[in-house]
Chain A
Amino acid sequence: MNSSVMAIILALCEAVRRGTPLLLGTTGEILNEKSGSLNLGVEGTMAVGAITGALLGLSTSNMFLALLGAFVGGMFCGLIYAFLTITLKANQNVTGLAITIFGGGLCMFVGETLKSTGKFPSYTTEFFAEITGGGIPLLKDIPYIGQLLFSYNALVYIAIVIALIVWIYITKTKSGLRMRAAGENPAAADSVGINVDAERYKNIVIGSGIMGLGGVYMALFINNGLWNTDWINGYGWIAVALVIFSNWSSARAIWGSYVFGLLLALKSRMPSLASAFPSVLSWSTAIPTEVFDALPFIVTMLVLIISSMRKNKNTGCPTGLGLNYFREER
């Protein structure tokens, strides 16, 4: 009994951990898309955030600085994207892809270069402990529940808080209202005096910063502190699909990302689940791990197909998504 419950709890914990970068990426992308720009550079932004955050954090052994560095790195990518698409009116799809390629390359390049020259900062023991440990001190010792709810790293909770703040910002504040207006119908917003370009710049840059946080989480925390200059490996694209899945609401994205996190977690957690519930899940041992790898992507595809079939008028999708606004356009 104990072991089966533990298996479930461990799986759920892993789901939360895997879901957190998704949540951060999705929240950042929601900010981007709600203001009207389809930012496909999530992967690259997360990668750049990862490397800047990791470097800053490891060299100073300070978690806060790691997060700060990641945020700034993300903002940098966002700034490039915003400048190209807003001021220079470039095609949003291609620009996003350019950011992906550039960001990913930059992350690998800087990482590998520093590693090879030995200048890459390494973990101090305290920092390592800080990263691999975490959790709320007293509450995490509660049996089962403590493990499930309170044993996570600070960034997990920060991510939830950020998602909620963004949700409040979008739905309940005046700035969020103006931003939504700019994304829905830039011409109408312009006529009321809302500066469409400024709204987009703001939201793209901050959204990209949030994505950067997602990147550093993956780099530092997911592999339990074993840093490697690994590619984000598709998490960025899942985040873009998650935006559609959660209907452009970052509050819904919270549980959406954990669902996807569970899919991602199944890869490592399935065997223990199978052994805990042999009657139900014994067949699962025969499934190759690649299926679990591919599962999030397959589910994403299903989400895309189903949502495009529905043609729901009440989507949160801004009507002006992906279109550049040029006032004198005839």
Chain B
Amino acid sequence: MTKTNKDPLIKISKRQNLALRYKLLLTVGAILLSLVLGGILLACLGYNPVKFYTEMLMGNFKNASYLKLMIRALIPLLITSLGVSLAFKMRFWNIGGEGQFIIGAIIAMTFSLLIGDSLPSPLGAIVVVILGTLGGGLYALFVAVLKVRFNTNETLMTLMLNYVALYIASYMLKTDFFALQGQGVPSFKVIAESLWLTEINIGKFSFDTALFIAVALTIILFVYFRQSKQGYELNVVGDSPNTAKYAGMKVNKIVLRTMFLSGAIIGMAGALKLCGSSAGHTFSANISGGVGWTSIIVAWLAKLNPVGILVASLLMSILERGCSFARTSLGISDAMSDVLQGIILFTVLASDFFINYKVSFRKKVKDAVTAQASGDAADDDKNASVTAVQIDDGIQTDSQTMTQSTDVVSDIPAGESTTDISASENPVEANQERPSADDNNVTEATANDPADETPQPVTEAAETKEEKEAVVENVAPEVVTDTVSSVEEKAATTKKTTAKKADNAAKTSRSKKSDDKKTSSPKSAKSPAKKAATDVKAAASKPSTKKTASSANKTKSTQTKKNGKGGNDNE
């Protein structure tokens, strides 16, 4: 049975929009919250969270060499995230970042070893990187073709390809082409020096070439999304494929092209890492360093905005490097970075809820003057007083509903009373035990009977109003005392029985007692009686006056209403 006749406690409705600053605030708040949660986890395991976080920061900014390590972690993450965001913007869930990265590196490695010294630097490096890029692109394109043709689930396909790439990489270690055998543990060959991506020196500092490429790529992608035709198409397809079709865009072509680019960019990240010094200019099965996973978090965190991706990649790199540093200095496992990343993603997903939906709470019945929390300018006054009366009277009118429903239901054969077929219904026996209550029902019904529906002149409506007031006057004492007595009873009985609506047996005992109460406390009933009477009257009259007004105006003001409101037709 319904628990309560009040509005739901928590109402969730979709939000129209939220100012940017609130969105940022929520996201930042989410990240802070996740740091706190991570701290709690650390504390549970016996570590000092504050110390951990300071070490984490220190690990990056202590000196120039740490900073360099952080930047070296940043570069592949940034590029990969950019690539991933390209696909995500089109709602194509490219989870194959790991695989595309590795393939890019593999292709680059292959051609590096093939080319060797033959090409002058930096031409050789450029060729190798481009080939790696192409490799990553093709690896992703494969999945896109399947999706466009057969609607294959791209999430799982790209995932599977991750593992395939991984195993290709580990196989490579066994070959003579890729690795130096012997010496116990085979190691990958180092690529020729002419293919190395050296560092560029600006003043005192030296930066990896790849950093410039990464930053350049960020800018390029920013421009691509915002200014280019392809970027525009990409945005439209991601926003509403129907609109894209309507505009004449070839959605399939756009999907294929974008996935190719996505994979290509990630492949480039792999190739760059191979040629760069961070990995020692050589391949390893672990060359991706989990960047394929982290990039997804970065992309989601940054809401697919290139600038946001730059910031988020920075954040994540600091996190990862910091955890790695904390491992050496504090002995905490660096899986902590995974844990923290996971928690950050949780809190950001949670904060997304508050960005997209509005939560409104139920206002108390007494608080009837102010509008509901959702911001409607509804007129609650009448509702409140009617509600107040109705809730108290609700118990009496209960029987009426039950009589009706049981009559109908018993008519319809509801099968044998087995547990799984019978419809839930209220017990029939309660109705017979409450003769006193029934009288009130009849009068109650008339008191609340609204004016006729057919359009009537104003005079008739006025009559009805008077009629009603007369009726109410006659009924007032009975109705009121019962109301009052029931209120008192309610206070007396336990909370549980009050809250439950199917309170039949309790009412049985109450109605017996109410007869006693009626005679014993007429005096005390008077003043609340008066109030209740006025309430009932108010309730009865208010609907009628409203109706009077509206029914009178209906015929005349149809025009004005129509003109005033214009075309407000909605489904």
Contacts and interface: CB of A to CB of B under 8 A. Distances in A.
Contacts of A298: 160, 164
B95 to A, nearest CB: 7
A191 B350 CA distance: 28
A290 B345 CA distance: 33
Interface stretch (B167-175, B177-185, B186-194, B431-439): B167-175
Interface in A71-129: 80, 84, 88-91, 93-95, 97-113, 116-117
A305 interface: yes
B343 interface: yes
A286 interface: no
A197 to B, nearest CB: 12
A293 interface: yes
B212 interface: no
B38 to A, nearest CB: 10
B232 interface: no
Contacts of A314: none
Contact of A102 (B163, B346, B352, B420): B346
B332 A294 contact: no
B297 A101 contact: yes
Interface stretch (A210-218, A234-242, A253-261): A234-242
B331 interface: yes
B contact patch SS: helix
A102 B345 contact: yes
Interface in B329-357: 331-333, 335-343, 345-346, 349-350, 352-353, 356-357
A298 B99 CA distance: 14
A304 B164 CA distance: 15
Nearest to A299: B160
A84 B30 CA distance: 14
Contacts of B420: 174
Contacts of A113: 45, 332-333
Given A108-B338, A113-B333, A91 B349 contact: yes
B402 interface: no
A106 B38 CA distance: 11
Contacts of A174: 420
A276 B159 CA distance: 35
Contact of B159 (A84, A104, A111, A237): A237
A99 B343 CA distance: 9
B286 to A, nearest CB: 12
A308 B146 contact: yes
Contacts, number: 141
Given A84-B349, A105-B341, A294-B163, A304 B174 contact: no
B336 A109 contact: yes
Nearest to A110: B45
B245 interface: no
A180 to B, nearest CB: 16
B150 A308 contact: yes
A contact patch SS: helix
Interface residues of A, number: 51
A145 B389 CA distance: 78
B338 A105 contact: yes
Contacts of A110: 45
A326 B159 CA distance: 30
Interface in A244-266: none
B346 A105 contact: no
B153 A301 contact: no
A98 B346 contact: yes
B397 to A, nearest CB: 24
Given A88-B353, A93-B93, A102-B346, A300 B156 contact: yes
Contacts of B150: 305, 308-309
A113 B52 CA distance: 14
Contact of A104 (B45, B333, B338): B338
Interface string B138-157: 00000000100011110111
A22 B296 CA distance: 26
Contacts of B45: 110, 113
B13 interface: yes
A151 B45 CA distance: 39
A40 interface: yes
Contact of A97 (B95, B153, B170): B95
A97 to B, nearest CB: 6
Contacts of A89: 353, 356-357
Contact of B346 (A80, A104, A294): A80
B549 to A, nearest CB: 32
A305 B350 contact: no
Contacts of B337: 105
Nearest to A96: B155
Nearest to A234: B163
Given A88-B353, A98-B342, A117-B331, 14 more contacts: A88-B352, A94-B300, A97-B345, A108-B335, A112-B333, A113-B45, A174-B420, A237-B159, A241-B160, A288-B174, A290-B167, A298-B164, A308-B150, A328-B14
Interface of A: 40, 44, 80, 84, 88-91, 93-95, 97-113, 116-117, 174, 234, 237, 240-241, 288, 290-291, 293-294, 297-298, 300-301, 304-305, 308-309, 326, 328-329
11 contacts: A44-B342, A93-B93, A94-B296, A102-B346, A108-B333, A108-B338, A112-B333, A288-B171, A288-B174, A293-B167, A294-B167
